Amino acid sequence: MLITFDHVTKQFEDGTIAVDDVSFSVAKGKLVTLIGPSGCGKTTTMKMINKLISLSSGSITIDGTDISEQDPVELRRNIGYVIQRIGLLPHMTIEENVALVPKLKGWKKEDYQKEVDDLLDLVGLEPSTYKKRYPLELSGGQQQRIGVIRALAGKPPIILMDEPFSALDPISREQLQDELKLLQKNIQKTIVFVTHDMDEALKISDEVIVMKDGCVQQIATPDTLIHQPSNAFVRSFIGEDRVKQAIETTSKRQASSVMLPLTAEVLQESTPRLPDSSPLQEVAKMMLTSKANKIILMAADGEATGWIAKDQLLKELAGIDMEVI
């Protein structure tokens, strides 16, 4: 599901402009984070997607359909929603909570019961143990796991998450972030995630949208964001330390950590050689000075141990994780 914001502005009744001429799009199956200091309009931006907040001007389309033409109730049943305060219905069992949207959508009993079991399995909560329990009998971390799978129930293609992990203890938070990342790999939902925690954003996102005072400051992958913050605000929001650290750590990594196994073919060519303990920075310098596309790496005794191609070095330094054909 492709979500597109086209010059979206939100002005509240009291005159404050919460979101100011924002345009971006979220590709299908991607996890995009909206981040910024409090009051930057990130939550407002997200809540306009499921029409919990109406927009003042501009348009939001989902897969080409303008949401203003859609019935809010119908729209929301196809968009999962996870909030910071979890919001499980305390008078309903876990099973009833998770089955809520499928039931609203009119699923058959067997279907939604199977869905509940599958989803509980997905987050590692044994269905037979947890189904009949009530939310208050669960720990905070478990409750938010239920919050997440409740949003997945009914198979919505889009999930909105409003600071879902920020009220949890650090250990549960880390766990849930890991689980979400893993989950996202398997289920490929389009997720819009609001947070104010940069570590969280960098860890889980495919793309990060940094906002300030209702305006988008930068849209980039986590790696690009750290390596090339677009302005002083983004740089300071990421944190000077993180920026420097990121550049230093990648360029100082030992060449041996990324080298490929040798092939006879590579060895035959007259390729420049470097010790495999050299930092990637050195490898890059060597490539530039010798205009070579490959570098052979060798151990302290001079024996070749592996090699690095230019493409691969570029990927490593820029932190791009993609297949090169």
Where does this chain bind another protein (CB under 8 A)?
50, 52, 72-79, 81, 83-93, 100-101, 104, 134-137, 147, 150-151, 160
Report in angstroms how near the CB of residue 87 gets to another protein at its nearest.
3
Closest CB to another protein among 97 and 177?
Answer: 97
Closest CB to another protein among 104 and 299?
Answer: 104
Closest CB to another protein among 77 and 227?
Answer: 77
Q: Are 7 and 48 in contact (CB under 8 A)?
A: no
If phi > 0 it is left, if psi is from -120 to 50 it is alpha, else beta; for residue 322 that is beta
Closest CB to another protein among 106 and 261?
Answer: 106
Separation CA 141–CA 137 (nearest Å): 12
- Coil vs helix vs strand at 265: helix
Report in angstroms how near the CB of residue 241 gets to another protein at its nearest.
34
Closest CB to another protein among 74 and 321?
Answer: 74
Burial class (CB in 10 A: 0-12, 13-18, 19+), 197: middle
- Give the bridge partners for 136, in sequence order: none
Report in angstroms how near the CB of residue 296 gets to another protein at its nearest.
57
Q: At what angle do helices 280-290 and 240-252 cross, to 10 degrees?
A: 60
Taking residue 279's Cβ as centre, other Cβ atoms within 10 Å add up to: 15
Report in angstroms how near the CB of residue 160 gets to another protein at its nearest.
7
Report in angstroms how near the CB of residue 127 gets to another protein at its nearest.
18
Q: Are 116 and 153 in contact (CB under 8 A)?
A: yes
Closest CB to another protein among 83 and 122?
Answer: 83
Report in angstroms how near the CB of residue 85 gets to another protein at its nearest.
3
Q: In the 8-state DSSP scheme, what is residue 261?
A: P
Closest CB to another protein among 79 and 283?
Answer: 79
Closest CB to another protein among 101 and 226?
Answer: 101
Sign of the Cα pseudo-torsion (129, 130, 132, 136, in order): positive
Report in angstroms how near the CB of residue 72 gets to another protein at its nearest.
8
Helix (H) or strand (E) holding 172: helix 170-187
Give the Å distances, CA to CA, from 113 to 45, 54, 101, 265.
34, 34, 12, 57
Q: Are 64 and 28 in contact (CB under 8 A)?
A: no
Report in angstroms how near the CB of residue 106 gets to another protein at its nearest.
12
